[in-house]
Amino acid sequence: MSDLVHNLQLGFATSLSLLNIVLCLGGCLIGTLIGVLPGIGPIATIAMLLPITFNVDPTSALIMLAGIYYGAQYGGSTTAILVNIPGEATSVVTVLDGHPMARQGRAGIALGIAAIGSFIAGTISTLVVAALGVPLSELALWFGPPEYFSLMVLGLTLAIVLVQGSLLKAGAMVLLGLLLSTVGADLETGQDRLTFGFDELSDGIDFAVLAMGLFGFAEVLRNLQSFEVQPQVHTTIGRLLPSRADFKQALGPILRGTGLGSILGILPGNGAVLAPFASYALEKRLADDSSRFGRGAIEGVAGPEAANNAGAQTAFIPLLTLGIPPNAVMALMVGAMTIHGIIPGPQVINNRPDLFWGMVTSMWIGNLALLAINLPLVGLWVRLLRVPYRLMFPAILIFCCIGIYSINNRPGDVLLMAGFGIVGHSLTRLGFEPAPLLLGFVLGRLLEEKLRQALVLSRGSFLPFVTRPVSCGLLIVAVAVLIIALLPAVSKKRAQVSLT
């Protein structure tokens, strides 16, 4: 316990430096901004801002990028409540009761309870991250190469299963991502692999190029081809603070949502997106009068909002303790860490405690900042919704181009990014999800390295993967998850859930 206090002290000392506070605030603001704007999401933004973070030290870089991620959760609910359009995939559920509340003139209360609920959830889940951090990483020190391999297999399996759509297609995407990660010089022999004779590819496909192309560029393409109507905001905001009665009604859902979100956020495979849905379903079932839901029930806003913020915080746990990214955004963080020379894994807590604890404490600072600035700035966000997309997308494009060029000063990178943009767009049109591809790509090198190490240690035998207890357990879970997802009842449920 005193260890925890000591660690938190270290964390606050790191995160309360001027630079880190500025970056945290900046990240939260940018995050809220893109959360509000429907045309762009945290994945694309973080990919675009990766090159900018190269000049600062890794802790500061990650603090800012993290701020963007959970800031976007706050912003997405603003659009959902005011405009009936979810700004982010996780705000889809907030639309159901948030917008009816706005139509009843209670928009301010909805926004207020969303912000307060998110802050409570953020505080509690930050404590969860802090509490679980050290034990989990100690557990991971028992991990040898076979265990790492099996853990990554589990992570990728969950990624396949929790993503919407055909399992086979998601699996194909993971495999494609793994294949792309092998492009470049082989780790052990230095031989060029799959480079088609291009020297530029000797270093492998640049992570930022792939990320920006697949998510930034492709996102712009997709939006341009779907003829979105400009959102209309036509409700008054009204009072911002919920009444005591409102708050009493909302407290239970907030706490339950926090619990759900905290657990689901840890699950690899974008479990955090499921959290608001689960919370809504739970609250509806627990409510005395479930017919209120869909018509402006405050529980329908409080629970899911708390859940999605808690999920966003705890999604950092597998990243910071085990080095396994649970979703595409965390995969970007892995990329950012690697670029700064930090190998993600359980050793991060011991080798760079300032990074871990600095991030944990800055998450709480960020949540506090978001609570304080979001509500007064609602008017600003509403005005920004009026910016037409025809002006936004050239800005996004030029940021992508400049960002990519600044990494290696290679014009070829910009072209490669455009190429991946086309690829990403084609993938979506063909019914594939790009997120598992990114996950596969990020984990590919590490996966291969661990596999090779394990096979060398076992002299070519695959037996240790199943005889060592932890590894065996992980693989069994992976297989079980796959089987469960293939059961007809479950696959119908997966088809019904419409989310990212």
Partner 1 sequence: MGRDPRELTAGACLLGIGVLALWQGSDLELGTLRQMGPGMLPRVLAVAVCLCGIAIGGRSLLHPARQVAGAAAPSDGDAPQVEAPRSIWGALRAPVFLVLAATVFGLCVRPLGLVIASPLAIVISTLASPETKRLESLWFALGMTVFCVVLFWTLLKLPIPVAPWLIGY
CB of 472 to partner 1, least distance (A): 19
Nearer to partner 1, 5 or 391 (CB): 391
**CA–CA dist 233, 255 (Å, integer):** 31
CB of 92 to partner 1, least distance (A): 5
CB of 249 to partner 1, least distance (A): 27
Q: Which amino acid is at 183?
A: V
Tokens of 194: 């799959």
Q: What are phi and psi of 184, to 5 degrees?
A: 120, -175
Nearer to partner 1, 223 or 347 (CB): 223
CB of 57 to partner 1, least distance (A): 15
Q: Give strand pairing partners of 186.
A: none
Nearer to partner 1, 352 or 494 (CB): 494
Which single residue is written with the structure tokens 């930050």?
A: 126
Which single residue is written with the structure tokens 């649970």?
A: 326
Nearer to partner 1, 277 or 356 (CB): 277
Helix and strand element counts for the chain (H, E): 24, 2
From residue 241, give the alpha-carbon distance in Å to each of 237, 368, 369, 377.
11, 16, 17, 14
Nearer to partner 1, 286 or 497 (CB): 497
Nearer to partner 1, 297 or 423 (CB): 423
Nearer to partner 1, 182 or 249 (CB): 182
Q: What are phi and psi of 277, to 5 degrees?
A: -65, -45
CB of 210 to partner 1, least distance (A): 15
Nearer to partner 1, 129 or 211 (CB): 211
Instruction: Sort strands 184-185 and 192-193 into parallel, antiparallel or unpaired.
Output: antiparallel
CB of 80 to partner 1, least distance (A): 9
CB of 6 to partner 1, least distance (A): 36
From residue 26, give the alpha-carbon distance in Å to each of 241, 260, 373, 399.
25, 29, 12, 17
**CA–CA dist 287, 178 (Å, integer):** 45
**CA–CA dist 482, 64 (Å, integer):** 36
CB of 327 to partner 1, least distance (A): 13
**Using alpha carbons only, what angle is made at residue 458 by residues 457 and 462, rounded to the nearest 5 degrees?**
135
- Max distance between CA atoms of the chain, in angstroms, equals 70
